[in-house]
Structure 1
Amino acid sequence: MKFSLKFRRKNKAEDPENAVEETAATPARKEKKFSGAAVKRWLFLHGEKVATGVVVALLALMVYTAIGKLELDSNQTPDDLKSRASQIREKIDNATFPADSFPVPDFSRQVKQNSVKLAAESYQIRNFTGDEQGPCRRCDPEILPPQQLEIKAGHGLFFVAKNQVEEEESDESDKQLDAREFTPELTSQLGATAPPEGAQSMGKRWIAVNALVPYQQQVDAYDSCFLRCLGYDRQEDWPKYTHVNVRRIEMTPDAEEDWDEAKQWSVDENYLARLQDTWAGRGNDPVPQKYQVAGLIQPLGPLADGTWSGWASHSQFAESLPDDDSTQPRSDTTPAGMGPAWPGGSRPAVDPTRPPSGPNSMGMDTAGTPDTAEAAPATRPPLTKFKLIRVFDFDVEPGKSYRYQLQIVIKNPNGKSRGLPAFYLDNPEIKDEELRESEWSQSSGPAWVPLDANLYAAGIVPPTEDSPEPAAEVIVEILEIAKGTQPAGKMRLHRGEPLQGEAPLQYADVQSQKVMIDKQGKIDTEYTLLDLRLPQPTSVGPQSPAELLFMDDRGNLVLRNTVDNASRVERFKAIEKVASSQPTKVPDTPETPPADRDIDEWEDKKKRRR
C-alpha cells in the first residue's frame, strides 16, 4: 500500500514565524497495487506463518483421529469375536452330510455299458519310412574318436616261440641250481599249465591301453546317412573297423608335449600277424565277445604266470568280467570264425606241423586250398553302447613314463570298392579314399613303467630288545628278461635301508614243473625303504593293514600293504615250502638223446632245463 502525501519542506533561512506550511497537492487516498514483487515480499515476510499454521492443523487432526480410535465398536470386542468363533467352530463340528443326496456312481457298470469293442482289422495303419519323398543321397558320416583312455603298465613272463629267445653265452657267473619237483598242492595253487610244445618263457614289459568306442552313436550316425538313402545295404552299411593307430610320447621333466614328434604305429593285420608269430599260443580273454569288434582288439599274449585280468579290459566293463579268469582253460587253438591275425585268433604252437584250419585274416577258409576257398561274409556285431579298444605297447623301458593317443581307422562305406554310382553320393569326392580316420583322441594320463622288480609287503616285525626299530619283511620278484625267469626272495629291512643284499632265491619253472633254488642269490634293486606303518586298530572293523613306502633311484614312490599283496605272499610261501623240502632221490642214469630228435636240439633243451 502506498500513500501519496506531500508536505512542504521548511527552509532554514526562512523565519519560522513567517513560514507558510505546504499543503498537500492532492487529497489523501488509499491505493492498492498487486504486483509480483509485492506478493514475493509478502510471502517472504509472512510465508512461514502460513506453513506453521498448516502443520499445526494437520497435527491436531492426527491427534483427534488417534483419540477417536481408542474405542472399538460394540460388535468388535475380544469377547464378542471369541464368542462368534466358538459358535462357528461348533457349527462345523456338528455339521452332517446327507450321503443319500449324493450317491457315488457305479463307474464300473458305466464303463461296461459304454465300451465299444474295436476291430483291429477295420483299421489300416500305414508305416511311414520316409520313402514317400523319394530316397536321399548318401552323405559322409562322422567317424567318432576313442574315449576315456585308461593305461596301466606291467611286466611278466611270456611263452614265446623257441627262435625268439636269444642264446646267452655262459660265463663264470652261471651257477648250478637246486631243483625240487612240483607237489600236487603247489600245482593246484599256482594254476600253472604246461607250456605248448617248443615254447620257451621270456620276460616282457608292457603298457596296456584300453579305451571305449561309442558304437551305438556310430551306428546312429551311419543310419542317418544311409538308412533311407540310395544304395542302402544292411550287410554293408555298418561300421567296419580295420585297425587302430597309436602314437606315444615319453614324459620328461624338461620337455613339452609335442605330439607331432610322437612315435606312431598302426595295430593292423600285419602288425598283429608279426606279433603273434613270436608267441606260442595266446592267453584267455576275459572280455565278453559282445564288446569285441575285429580291428579294435589286440589279442592277449600267453602269460606263463598269472592272468590278464588287470590289463585286459576297461573299467566300463568291470561288472561283465568274471571274478577269476584263471579258472578258465587256456585256449591254444584258433576258435571258429577267428583268424590268426584277427583279435582273438592265434597261431597254434601245440603242433607246428599241422596245417592251419578255420578262416584266416582275410576271411578265407584255410582247411583246403586258399585259392579255391570262398570268402566268408562279415556279420554285424551285436549293438552295444560301447565297444572295447585294447592295444599293448611292448616297446617300453623300466622307470620311464609315457602318454598315448588313439585314432580309429574305418572302411569307407562310400568307397570305390562298393561300386556305387556317383549320383548316389551327396559329394562324389568322398569315394576317393578306401579308409576313413577319426580325430585323435584326447591324450591319456601318464603311465610309469615299473622297474624289473616286484615288491610285496609280507609283514612287519615289531621292535624287540635287540632291535628297537620295527623291521619290514619284503618279498622281491626279479624279472629276468632273457632267461625268462622271475626268482623271488625275502628280505628284512629297517627304515632308510636299500633293498639290496644276499638272500636265497627260488622260482617255479612251469616248463620243467620244478622249483629252482639259488641258495646264494643276490638281490640288487634301485628301491629304498622310506617308511613303514604298523597295523592300526579301527573302531568299525578289522585293523588296517601294514604299509611299506619305497622310493626308487628316480624319486618315484611305491606303496605296498599286506592286504593287497596277500595272494602273492601266499604264493611265495607255497614255493618256499617246496624249496625247503628234501630233494627226491633219483638213481643216476645216463641221458641219451631220443632217436627221432636232433642231437643239437636235445643238448640245447638239456642245457635250458638246468
Structure 2
Amino acid sequence: MANPTVEKLKSFGLRFADKAAVALTAVLCLVFVFLALNKETIETTPDELNRIAQSAQQNINQPQDEKTILERIEQDGMDLKESFGAAIAAREKTKVDVRQFSLARSFVKAEPGAGLIRDSVKDQLLAPYDLVATAGRGGIPFAARDSAGNLLPPDPEEQKRQLSGMYGMMGEGSGMYGGMMGAGGTAKKNVRQEQLTKRQEQVASAREKAAIAGGVTVPAEEEEESTSMLVDFKTEVRGQRWVAIVGLLNNKQFRERYARALKISEDSPESHPDYKRIEMERQAFNPVTGDWSDWTLVDPEELERRSADIAFEEEKTFEMTPDAVRLPPIVDFLPYLVSGYWSGVHHGQLIPPEKLRELFAEEEDQGANNMAMMGMMGMGSSMMGMEGMEGMMSGSRGMMGSGMMGSGMMGSDMDEMAMMGMGMGMGMGMGRAAGTGPEYMTDEEIIMVRGLDYTVQPDTTYRYRLRVVVANPNYNRDDVAHGVDNTSREFAGPWSEPTEAVKVPADVSIYVMNPARGSAYSEDTVSFDVVAWNPDTGALAVSNFPTAPGQFVGHPKSVLVPEEGEDEPKNQLIPFQSRELVVDTVGSQRPVQNLSAGGRPLTGTFEIPAVVTVLRPDGTIALHSQAVDATDDQLAFMKESYNLSISPELNKKARGNNMGMMGMMSGMMGGMPGS
C-alpha cells in the first residue's frame, strides 16, 4: 500500500513544481540586475588607452644594465666564464640547412574572389572518331644485333658494293654529295642516327650552359663535317604484320573545353592540350563460337620493343596530309618498307583538295605527277619509279644492307630539314618556348590520330578502339577548385567507338575465283587464287590452283618474285600449300536449255558461281563463296602489289598512278588491307 505522505508530495509536485521553478528564476534575475546596477563603471576612454600604450612602449625601449643581464643569466645556472664559449663552439660545428625544413606548399590558399579558380579537364576530354582500321604486311629493315644485344657492324664489302652501285646508277659527276636528290628519289631518315645526334646536341648544350654560369667563355663550335656516310650498323630485313588505325580528333573543341575549365582565353597557348600518346584496345573474333573476346589493351611496352630497332622511316614528304594535322605523340611514324606497301595510313578527310584532284586526275594528266602520288604507298625493293634508281634515304645516312641506295644525295640544307623529323617542323606553333604551351600543338580544328599495332596474329579478325592520353594541366598547382585532381600527371580520355572488323591475312590465304575453265575444267573443279607471304622477308607471291574435292588447295610452285638489289624478278620455289582440304564444291559451266530467241533455240553455257566447303588444319569447316572472295578488296590489293613487284616496266610507268590511287581509296573509305 502506498505511503500517504509520498502520494501527497507527488500530487503537490505535479501541480506546483513548474510554477516554483518560474518563480525562482524570476527572483534570481532580479537579484543579478540589482547587483549589476550597483557595480562601478569601467573607464575605457581613448586617452586612457593611449596612456597604457605609451607606458608599455617605454618599458620595451628602456635600456637594460649589462650587469643586471649577466646576473640574471648566472641565476639561471649558466657559467659565462667557463662553459659559455665551449657551448657556442660546439653549436658552430652543427650547421643546419633551413631549406631542409621548408614547406613544400604554402599554407596560403587562393580564396574565391581573389583570382580565377581552375576546374578539372578530366571530364572535358574527347574521343577520336571516324576510325578506319587496315591490315598490312611487308618487309622492314631493322638494325641487326648480336646475342648480347649489341649492334652489329656493317659488312665492309657490302658497303663497297652498294657505294659502287650508287656511282654506277647516278654517275660520278651527278652531284651525289652536292644536295641533288635526283628525280623520283624518296628520302628516308636513319632513326638511330637521328637519336644519336639529338643526344649529342643535348650534351653539348648542357656543357655550354655550365661554362657560361662559371664565367668561362664558350668556345666556338667546330664546323660540322659532311654527313655523307654509310650507316654505322648492319641492317636486316624482317617480315612484319600490322594493323593501322587512323581517325580524327576535334582539336578546336578540345581547346574550347580547356579554356572554359582553366579560366583562360582560347587564344592562350595553355589552352592547347598536351597530347602524350594514344592507347589502343582490341577484340579478337572467335569463328567457332561467333563471339568477340573482351577488350584488351595493346601493350605499349611491347610495341616500343618491336619498333625500337627499326632502321629507317618514311620521309616526311611521304605523308599525304598537312604537317599541322599530325602531332607526333598521337601519330605513329611509318617505317620504311623494303617490300609491301602502306595502305590506309592517311585519313582521306584531311588530305588537301589540290592533292585529291591530283590523285584523281585523268590518266593522261598523271604522267608528270607520278612521284607526288607515290606517297600513298611504301617503296618496294626495286620500285622507285625511275629507271635504274632505287630508294634513297635522307640525311646522307647511307645505305641499307638490302642493296637499296644510300642517302648521300641530299645537301646539308635538306639534311637539316630531314633531321627535324617528327618532333619538329610541324608548323602551327610547334616547339614553343617553355611555359607558353606544350611542345607539340597546332591551330588546326581537326587533327589526325594514327596507331600501328605490330602484335597482331595471322588469320585473325580484330576490331579496335582508341583513346587519347593528355598531361594534367593542373598538376602540382594550388589555384584549383576544391576536389580537383592536381596530383595525377596524366589523364586518359574516353574510348572511341569500335572500328569495323579487320582481318589479318593468313601467311597462306586462299580465295575462290570461279569454276575451273579450259584444260583444267571438270564438273566439280574450282579455281583458287593462293597468296603466300614470307614472314622472314615480307615478300609476297600470288598464283592460281584448280582444285577438286579430296585435294589440298595449293602446293609448292616456282613463280617470279622480286630480288632485292635486282631490276628483274627471279623464279623461286614458293610454298603455296595451304593445308586446307576441299570437301565439296558447287558451281560449274552449265549448257543453256529450253531457251530460244526469235524461234531459234539458244546454244552455249552459263556459269554457276562457285561455293566451296573446306576442312581447315584446326579441324573446323569453312565456306568460301566466289561472290565474296573474287571481289575481295584485300585480294585485289595483294594481287596488284605482286604484279607491280615483278613487272619492272609497270613499276616504272604506272606504280605512282595505280598504287597511289588504291591507297587513296583505302584511306578514304576504310578499304583494302595491305599486302
- Tell me the TM-score normalised to structure 2 length: 0.46
Between 1 and 2, higher relative CO (CA 8 Å, sep ≥ 6) is seen in 2
Q: Which has the larger radius of gyration?
A: 1
- Tell me the TM-score normalised to structure 1 length: 0.50
